[in-house]
Chains A and B, each alone.
Chain A
Amino acid sequence: MIDTNVYLERWPFRRLTADDSEQLVATLKALGITQAWAGSFDGLFHRDIGGVNERLSQKCRESDDGFLIPFGTVNPTLPDWEDDLRRIDEEFQMPGIRLHPAYHGYMLDDSRFAELLRFANDRSLAVQLVVGMEDERTQHTLHRIPSVDLSPLKAVLKEVGGTQIMILNAFRSVSVAQAVELTLDTSIHFDIAMLEGIAGAGKLIESLPAERIVFGTHAPLFYPDSAILKLIESGLPEAILLKLKAENAANWLANR
């Protein structure tokens, strides 16, 4: 089982049981997860992105048997972000990047976003885009971060072409109808960490191709059991579950 949505380091507003990377790995393995794609909580607010990615790379290397796969942070509003991207590719040899437009203060119709996607394409880096990190109703008083507006995304992808993109934590603010529209003529994938509603995964594939849905827990901020129990609750046949659990994510990364 491939978990496409985990984080290392510290969530700024709360200590988490599994915010130590060894504990996180142990927790995920106990649930049957065999690989986890990790971003860094530090990447949300830190501006020394080189340091953020160096620590992420180191922590993932320390994890045994390549369990943790690093997805580096790039903030295109910072000076010389292009070199952060270069280091992610050349020095840290990460397979992809994880973007947090809402936390870094840009919209998807910002020209720097399109430029970032072009650079990622040139280096064959896969791109994860995070819509939100938590329920807006429960954010800290001094921390009001809206969800990312995905409506410009298709036009940007058409302009840039060829980006292998995965949307994380979409389903708090993105409707199924909007997700369906986003998948038409693109290779966009979605994870299920914030998918809600009873038997939600089963209902989702009535609208969205099963090949576009991947398993993601949003651990350690969320209890990772949630995503596993969603698959159990879905009532989906094993052949579909295999796609969601690992095949789709593996194919997505292989096609970058």
Chain B
Amino acid sequence: MNHPLHAKFGIWDLHCHLLGIPGRTPEEKMAGLLEIADRHQIERLCLFFSSTWAKNPTADELRTDNDYVIQAMSHWSDRVLGFCYVSPEHVEASLDEVERCVVNGPMVGIKLWVAQRADAGELDAIIDKASKAKAVIFQHTWFKQDGTQTPGESTPLHLAALARRFPDTHFICGHAGGQWELGIRAIRGLPNVSVELAGSDPTAGFTEMAVRELGASRVIFGSDAAGRSFASQLAKVYGAAISDSDRQAIFRDNLRTLVLGTGKIKA
């Protein structure tokens, strides 16, 4: 079984969870995820919360989730990059977690999910601290057409409002808003925002539009495994009508540049 472009590019995956992976411990689940990542020659992957799945986590749940990620990545520091779960509903606890997990710990970034929208003023202190720590900042975004948008769930427009308040800080627009034709438009005027390709169907044209409207340097590959397959998300880059140099930038180089900026890995 083969794909014409398989193994031709270095690949880093921005977005993984340990959801539904067999294993008794975080380390065992991590090993299981990496074994499947190896089938696609994925070199490194970023791990987001994988324990409580709390949409409005308490301060304790934030710590629980971050401990779980640190434990999962502990045996694979050469391949797994951790992201610290934070919430604007618990500013002080989140600042403590950034200090513990990023400034003094092994993690390279922060993950914001759906507790509050990204334009909430409470986020400013967290972004300020994460930015000073040079952390990679990831915000989940979706424009949902079917009425399932949760009250605290950001669209790319909410992230755009935040990015305007922090013009010198780089943000990643997770999922490109799901409805990527809207999400790409929402952030295209903001050079400090990149889009991530993860977590939606492999609809043709997504990557081509992102590259056309933003430039390949603002597009980052992620899968949202294990809820999604690596396969359907890799297809967005393998299958796009773009140059191989753009493919390489999206698959690895853009994320690598951001992570190198944290000082947590060596060139």
Contacts and interface: CB of A to CB of B under 8 A. Distances in A.
A115 interface: no
A229 B179 CA distance: 23
Interface of B is mostly: loop
Interface in A113-143: 134-141
A207 interface: no
Contact of A198 (B6, B181, B229): B229
B21 A139 contact: no
Q: Is the interface of A mostly helix, strand, loop or mixed?
A: loop
B47 to A, nearest CB: 14
Contact of A196 (B178, B179, B228, B235): B228
Nearest to B231: A229
A235 B145 contact: no
A12 interface: no
Taking residues whose C-beta sits less than 8 angstroms from the other chain, chain B's interface range is 35 or more
Interface string B184-218: 00000000000000001111110010000000000
B103 interface: no
Contacts of B226: 197-198
A232 B201 contact: no
A222 B201 contact: yes
B79 interface: no
A15 to B, nearest CB: 7
Contacts of B55: none
B142 interface: yes
A233 B33 CA distance: 11
Given A137-B145, A139-B145, A238-B1, A223 B231 contact: no
A85 to B, nearest CB: 31
B232 A226 contact: yes
Contacts of A200: 229
Contacts of A241: 1
Interface residues of A, number: 42
Contact of B229 (A134, A196, A223): A196
A140 B225 CA distance: 26
Contacts of B39: 232-233, 235
Contacts of B234: 225, 229
A229 B201 contact: no
Contacts of A230: 229, 231-232
B239 interface: yes
Contact of A137 (B3, B146, B202, B229): B146
A137 B144 contact: yes
Contact of A229 (B3, B148, B225, B241): B3
A190 to B, nearest CB: 16
Contacts of A182: none
A230 B239 CA distance: 14
B232 A138 contact: no
A229 B229 CA distance: 9
B200 A225 contact: no
B203 A134 contact: yes
Nearest to A195: B229
Contacts of B243: none
A16 B209 CA distance: 11
B20 interface: yes
B36 A199 contact: yes
A232 B231 contact: yes
Nearest to B16: A198
Interface string B76-104: 00000000000000000000000000000
29 contacts: A14-B203, A14-B205, A16-B204, A16-B205, A18-B204, A134-B201, A135-B200, A135-B201, A137-B144, A137-B145, A137-B178, A138-B178, A219-B204, A222-B201, A222-B202, A223-B203, A223-B204, A225-B3, A225-B234, A228-B3, A229-B229, A230-B229, A230-B231, A230-B232, A231-B1, A232-B2, A232-B6, A233-B36, A233-B40
Which 4 A-B residue pairs are closest in the complex by CB-CB distance?
A: A223-B239, A229-B231, A226-B235, A198-B226
Given A17-B241, A140-B145, 11 more contacts: A134-B201, A136-B146, A141-B145, A195-B229, A198-B36, A198-B225, A198-B227, A229-B3, A232-B40, A233-B39, A235-B39
